[in-house]
Amino acid sequence: MKKILDITFPLSANLTVWPNDPPVRMEAIREAGKGARSTISRLEMGSHSGTHLDAPSHFIEGGGTVDALDLDILIGECLAAEVEADAITAEVIDSLNIPDDVQRVIFKTRNSQRFTETGDFFRDYVGVTTSGARRLLEMGIKLVGTDYLSAAAYSDITQVHCALLDGGVVLLEMLNLKDIRPGRYELVCLPLKLAGADGSPCRAVLIEDAKKG
């Protein structure tokens, strides 16, 4: 029997976003029972709000857009790995002994305990460093997920995003991993099909007891 674990943060007006990114807004413009037969809302948000995916064009001029992300990468076997360290460096990744067949990895860090949906943004989150990005590319990893607004450490934002996105790695950010045990799952993360966009909020789930790869 499969069990679906939701690893997505709810999108709401108070959700913490990256500094200077647009806030999330939702407003009913017609309401059932209040002069209309149905309720419809206007949605506003940034392309990197909440749990989301980065497209190459987020950091690379003329790079691929979010509607073109490869669905074969967004759905498939995934390893959830726990990191105790302050940064996801090459050395830390090596210490995890990630098996050769792993193509998708999500890192659960202390961000998962520290982040609260409406709290202040903090810079000293645990993220992937330049050496970590290099190691992930060497390993042939196709998707990297983390539990904060950026997969890249704050000090290495541009280098890490450019290296991974240019290397064809999909970045899945702001996962809600607080209740996730390390191990193998089936990952499904689907962005909106936003034509030409640099990223998209997504729904991300882990499926337990899927066939092991």
Site residues (vs a second copy, CB under 8 A) = 4, 6, 8-12, 18, 20-22, 26, 28-30, 32-33, 37-48, 50-51, 57-61, 67, 71-72, 75, 157-158, 161, 188, 190-199, 201-203, 205, 207
In the complex, minimum distance from the CB of residue 2 to a second copy, in angstroms, rounded to a whole number: 8
Structure tokens at 30: 């017609």
* SS3 label, residue 186: strand
Place of tokens 């191990």: 183
Known catalytic residues are 58
In the complex, minimum distance from the CB of residue 26 to a second copy, in angstroms, rounded to a whole number: 6
End-to-end CA distance of the chain: 17
In the complex, minimum distance from the CB of residue 95 to a second copy, in angstroms, rounded to a whole number: 30
Cα angle value 48/51/52 (rounded, 5°): 45
Nearer to a second copy, 93 or 184 (CB): 184
Nearer to a second copy, 100 or 211 (CB): 211
Nearer to a second copy, 48 or 134 (CB): 48
Nearer to a second copy, 38 or 116 (CB): 38
Phi and psi at residue 160, to the nearest 5°: -70, -45
In the complex, minimum distance from the CB of residue 94 to a second copy, in angstroms, rounded to a whole number: 29
- The answer to whether 164 and 144 have CB atoms below 8 angstroms apart is yes
- The answer to whether 18 and 52 have CB atoms below 8 angstroms apart is no
Q: What does DSSP assign to residue 6?
A: E
Nearer to a second copy, 96 or 192 (CB): 192
In the complex, minimum distance from the CB of residue 126 to a second copy, in angstroms, rounded to a whole number: 20
d(C-alpha 161, C-alpha 169), whole Å: 9
Cβ atoms within 10 Å of 30's Cβ, excluding its own: 12
- The sign one gets for the Cα dihedral 8, 86, 19, 152 is negative
